[in-house]
Structures are given as C-alpha cells and as structure tokens.
Amino acid sequence: MLDRLQAQAPDALLALIKMHAQDPREDKIDLGVGVYRTNEGATPVFRAIKKAEQKLVDEQDSKSYLGPEGDTGFVDALKPYVFGKDATMGGRIEGMQTPGGTGAVRLAVALAKAAGVTRVHMGTPSWPNHAQILADVGVEFVSFTHAKPDGSADLDAVLGAICGAGPTDAVLLHGCCHNPTGVDYTADQWAAIAEAFAETGVLPLLDVAYHGLGHGLEEDIAGVRQVLAKVPEALIAYSCDKNFGLYRDRVGAFYMLAKEPGQLPAITSNANALARANWSMPPDHGGAAVRYVLRDPSLTREWLEELDDMRARMRRVRARLAAADNEAPGLNLAALGEQNGLFATLPLDKNQIVKLREDHGIYMAGSGRINVAGLHAGNTDKFIAALADVTR
C-alpha cells in the first residue's frame, strides 16, 4: 500500500538551510528562512516571554486537558490588540487557540468549506502553505495579482476578485506585512476593499501573521479593522509566532465574527469539531506564556519595547536598501522603504540568484524573496555590492 506513494518535492527553504549550513565562507548571508534576527544574527527568546515562562513553571499546578478551544484567557487577552480596546463588536466575536497561525488558517478554510464555501480567491504570490492548505482541505483556489511591478498593491485586482466572486466564494487577504512581497494595501485601498466586501457580502478570510512588524500594532491592524467594521461576517487567523518570537511553540488564535451573537454557539461548535478532528487541542505552553505577558502590565511593556526594537531595526535595514536604489538599477530597491515586515521579493532571475549564492555566499529563496531581518549593519553593504554585481 505505502509503496504507492510518490516522493514529494523537498521543501525548497529547508534545502537552502542545509546548503547555507555547509558553506564554509565566514561572510555568508542567510536571507532564506522567515524568522526575525537581531543585529548579531540571533533569533533569541523575548525577555518578556522568558519571564512569563518562569512564572508559568512556578505557578502552573496542572497539565490536565483543556478543550479544543485551548487557553481562553490567552484568546481573550489578545482580543484588544486585534479588535481594538473598545471594539466588542456587539458580542459578535468568539475565538479559540490554534497550533500556530497555520492551524488558524487551516481552521478558517475548513470552517468556510463546512459553511458552503467552494472557492477561495487569493492574491499571488503568497505564502506557499496557503495554496497547500486550500488543496488539502479541498476548496478551489483562484488567483489574482497581489502586487504591481512598481512595488505597490494591485487594488483593481483585489476589487475584481471580490466584486466578481460567486455566492460560494471567499477571499483570503494578508492583514499586514505580506509574505513574500512586503507589499501591503494602503489605508485608502483597505477602505475600498472593506466597501467591496460590505456591498457583495463575500466572506473575508483575514490572515494576520506579522502583527506589529510593519509600522506598529495599531497601524498594522487598521486595515483589518476597517473590513471588520463593515462586514457582517469574517474569519480571522492570527499568529503569535513572530511577534512574540514563539515559532516552534506554535501559538495562534482563530476568531469568528458572526452576523449576530446568537449564531456564535453553532459556528464555534463547528470550529471545535474541526479542531478535535485535526489536533484535538492546541499545545498549551506558548499560549499560556503570552497570556502571562498580556495580563502583566510590566511584562506587556517589556514585550512592546522588544517589538518596537525589532520593527525599528527592520525599518533601518529597509531605509538603507532603499537608499541604494541607484546602485542596483532595475531592482526597485526604493520600494522596499515603503514595504513592511520580514520579507521583500526582488525581481531577480534564477541565474542572478544562483550567482548571488555561488559567488557571494548569499542565500535566498528561488522566488527572489529575501528575509530583510537577515541583513544588519555588518552585512548590508556586502549585500548591496553583490546585487550591484549581479545586475551589472
């Protein structure tokens, strides 16, 4: 039976990590894997999380099962950051903890399917796992263009998708810090998107995986809130794996916005049933640590400071790259200064990407995606010089 299985293509980024690890060059640069790195190239545990984890170890008196909804204290503590301090949305929101943002995206798609959605429209390029999840859950994927060659978001394409959507279609959007392009919708564009969702009644699936890594916690979620303020229903997938540095602890949340509060019990019972069939309940540790951070004002302050530092560092790298626009003509580095988050996609061809790796020890995804946080004061000049070399 099992010998019928065909080998799957290996994950391209994991192959890249291996190649980078085996490269003996001291000044090699890893722009592949999507984790935040400090100026020293490290991906440390947040100080606020370390302290929260210590408290958790000291105070936790049981590891008995929770339900499929996970740590509801975590889910509630996160709500004001997602929906705003006063935005109870009339009791129309319910949430649950999920294994990472990935689990939340999976639940969003599966719940949408259970409710009758057959097709999901999504801007491309996108995080590769989006398409894999859509295929695995069994809904059709329809692609529209996310970004224009000038490095801005393609509003006409997304409005075309929403306004052309059928009665069993949903539209999946990145909330902020788009992966892999870094190209986000502007406030005016979000207003038009919110209006289109409201007019058509198309279900929005909103994926927020890098909250706070663009311009700030409030700024980054403003577009999502514009949509939520206008639509009757929405599904929101949220990851704490980047903005709390919890990657391998798998911390996510899934929120459902219903037309009326009375509809939430039926909706959440379906989400719970799907969670049980998929993973039964989410891993506890990371979500509990986030709960400790968000319920303790001094830990919250420390977390916010750490997040501010991360964001400021990435904005400095972006500004440096943007200022080098003339040094590598044709790459539109200037646009990187306007874009957000961990990622940017450079219009490099395959040969240029191979040359960067072989001649300069610079490792990036085959799509031209770079992890901006892989750059720092000590290697950005080298990176720019290498770009100048391969685009000459």
Instruction: Out of 68, 70, 100, 223, name the contact with ligand PMP by CB under 6 A.
Output: 100
127 interacts with ligand PMP by CB under 6 A = yes
**Closer residue to ligand PMP (CB): 105 or 157:** 105
Instruction: Out of 20, 113, 174, 225, name the contact with ligand PMP by CB under 6 A.
Output: 174
What CA–CA distances, in Å, run from 368 to 25, 93, 179, 352?
21, 38, 12, 9
User: Site for ligand PMP (CB under 6 A): how many residues?
Assistant: 13
Backbone conformation region of residue 41, classed left if phi is above 0, alpha if psi is from -120 to 50, else beta: left
379 interacts with ligand PMP by CB under 6 A = no
**Closer residue to ligand PMP (CB): 136 or 381:** 136
For residues 157 and 341, the answer to whether their CB atoms sit within 8 Å is: no
In 3D space, the residue among 172, 157, 159, 259 whose CA is nearest the CA of residue 199 turns out to be 159
With contacts defined by CB under 6 A, name the span among 100-108, 149-157, 190-198, 217-225 that binds ligand PMP: 100-108
**Closer residue to ligand PMP (CB): 238 or 383:** 238
With contacts defined by CB under 6 A, name the span among 15-23, 95-103, 112-120, 351-359 that binds ligand PMP: 95-103
- According to DSSP H, which parts of the chain are helical? 12-22, 47-59, 72-83, 100-114, 128-137, 155-163, 187-200, 217-230, 264-278, 285-295, 297-323, 350-360, 380-391
Task: Name the DSSP letter for residue 252.
Answer: E
Q: How far is the CB of 79 from ligand PMP (least distance, A)?
A: 18
**Closer residue to ligand PMP (CB): 83 or 127:** 127
Beta bridge partners of 239: 252
Q: How far is the CB of 233 from ligand PMP (least distance, A)?
A: 21
- Residues noted as catalytic: 127, 207, 209, 242
Task: Return the HEC string of 262-312.
Answer: HHHHHHHHHHHHHHHHHCCCCCCHHHHHHHHHHHCHHHHHHHHHHHHHHHH
How open is the CA angle 101-79-310, to the nearest 5 degrees?
A: 60
Q: How far is the CB of 242 from ligand PMP (least distance, A)?
A: 7
Q: How far is the CB of 327 from ligand PMP (least distance, A)?
A: 29
Q: How far is the CB of 359 from ligand PMP (least distance, A)?
A: 29
Structure tokens at 301: 């302050």
How open is the CA angle 115-235-299, to the nearest 5 degrees?
A: 145
Q: Find the residue with minimal CB distance to ligand PMP.
A: 100
List the interface residues with ligand PMP, window 196-235 (CB under 6 A): 207, 209
Rg (CA), the chain: 21
Instruction: Out of 48, 52, 105, 274, name the contact with ligand PMP by CB under 6 A.
Output: 105
154 interacts with ligand PMP by CB under 6 A = no
Q: How far is the CB of 141 from ligand PMP (least distance, A)?
A: 15
What CA–CA distances, in Å, run from 177 to 107, 116, 186, 312, 362?
21, 29, 12, 14, 23
Instruction: Out of 30, 48, 111, 179, name the contact with ligand PMP by CB under 6 A.
Output: 179
Q: How far is the CB of 162 from ligand PMP (least distance, A)?
A: 19
Whole-angstrom distance, CA of residue 160 vs CA of residue 196: 9
245 interacts with ligand PMP by CB under 6 A = no
Interface mask (CB under 6 A) for ligand PMP, residues 250-269, using x and -?
--x-----------------
Whole-angstrom distance, CA of residue 240 vs CA of residue 287: 8
Residues, the chain:
392
Instruction: Out of 94, 241, 249, 306, name the contact with ligand PMP by CB under 6 A.
Output: 241
Instruction: Out of 97, 181, 239, 339, name the contact with ligand PMP by CB under 6 A.
Output: 239
Kindly list the residues in this chain that would bind ligand PMP in the complex (CB under 6 A): 34, 100-102, 105, 127, 174, 179, 207, 209, 239, 241, 252
